[in-house]
Amino acid sequence: MIARPAPGPLLTVMAHPDDAELWAGGTIARYTARGIPTIIAVPEHHDPVRNREAAAGAAILGATLYQYDATAPDALAVLLRGTKPEIVITHPLRDMHADHRHLAEKLLAAVPDVVIATGRPHRVYTCDTYNSLTLDGPVPAHTTLDVTDTQPVKMRALTAHRSQPVDTHFARMAATLSRLWGARIGTSYAENFVPVPVLGRLPAASGL
């Protein structure tokens, strides 16, 4: 029997230290529980408190934190080449938050050359956003994953970001969105992702 190669890493590339927890925390915890390497990449923050919170949140999810210099022009290409992810998750291209949009644009601009050179990533997805609303309207339902078992881990990781308005805003929004996505697929909690073409190809898989 020929052994199947181990799945490559799941890489989330987000604009802020708490974004991975907010939009993909349940999925990240789900993948790490299966023993799949998972990386959370965020720009290195000038505030040491937020850097510590980023490390704490990633540790709770079981992920590796990768902080990069956002001022380096090739930082995202270096990230993709170095990690060789099988799956990449980032923000919607038409996110309401300008930081999210700019990061997604830069990341997706780096993908084609890296894929040609390394063969990775195989699949790219965008995640949810504030109240599931982009500049073009609601985030479309597409690849909606059950995260009922890992929702508590997601919420615990989110609370690591104490310098942010977690109790007054983010935690309630994250819980509400997870419940709404879960209701669409008949589970208690879920997270939704939308595939982005990689060199003109969309993933055939029903999950990530």
Domains of the chain: 10-196 (3.40.50.10320)
**pLDDT over 90, % of the chain:** 90
Confidence of residue 203 (pLDDT cuts 50, 70, 90): confident
Neighbour tally for 3: CB within 10 Å: 5
Per-residue burial over 89-120, b = 16 or more CB atoms within 10 Å of its CB, e = otherwise: bbbbbbbebeebbebbebbbebbeebbeeeeb
Burial class (CB in 10 A: 0-12, 13-18, 19+), 33: middle
User: Average pLDDT of 194-203?
Assistant: 94
User: Average pLDDT of 38-52?
Assistant: 93
From CA 107, how far away is CA 88, in angstroms rounded?
A: 10
pLDDT, position 205: 73
From CA 208, how far away is CA 203, in angstroms rounded?
A: 8
Tens-digit pLDDT profile for residues 116-169:
999 999 999 999 999 999 999 999 999 999 999 999 999 999 999 999 999 899
From CA 101, how far away is CA 116, in angstroms rounded?
A: 24
Closest to 199 (Cα-Cα) out of 118, 82, 142: 118
Confidence of residue 6 (pLDDT cuts 50, 70, 90): low
Beta strands 10-13 and 87-90, pairing class = parallel
From CA 152, how far away is CA 203, in angstroms rounded?
A: 29
User: Average pLDDT of 62-86?
Assistant: 96
Q: Is the pLDDT of residue 4 over 70?
A: no
Q: Is the pLDDT of residue 8 over 80?
A: no
pLDDT, position 190: 98
pLDDT, position 184: 97
Could you give the C-alpha distances from 200 to 86, 94, 114, in angstroms and in order?
A: 17, 19, 14
Q: Is the pLDDT of residue 109 over 60?
A: yes
Neighbour tally for 84: CB within 10 Å: 14
Question: Is residue 143 a contact partner of residue 206, using CB atoms and an 8 Å limit?
Answer: yes
From CA 89, how far away is CA 96, in angstroms rounded?
A: 17
Q: Is the pLDDT of residue 81 over 80?
A: yes
Q: Is the pLDDT of residue 194 over 90?
A: yes
Q: DSSP of 94-163, one letter per residue?
A: TBSSHHHHHHHHHHHHHHHHHHHHH---SEEEE---GGGEETTEEPPP-EEEE-TTTHHHHHHHHTT-TT
Between 64 and 205, the higher pLDDT residue: 64
Q: Is the pLDDT of residue 2 over 50?
A: no
pTM, entire model: 0.95
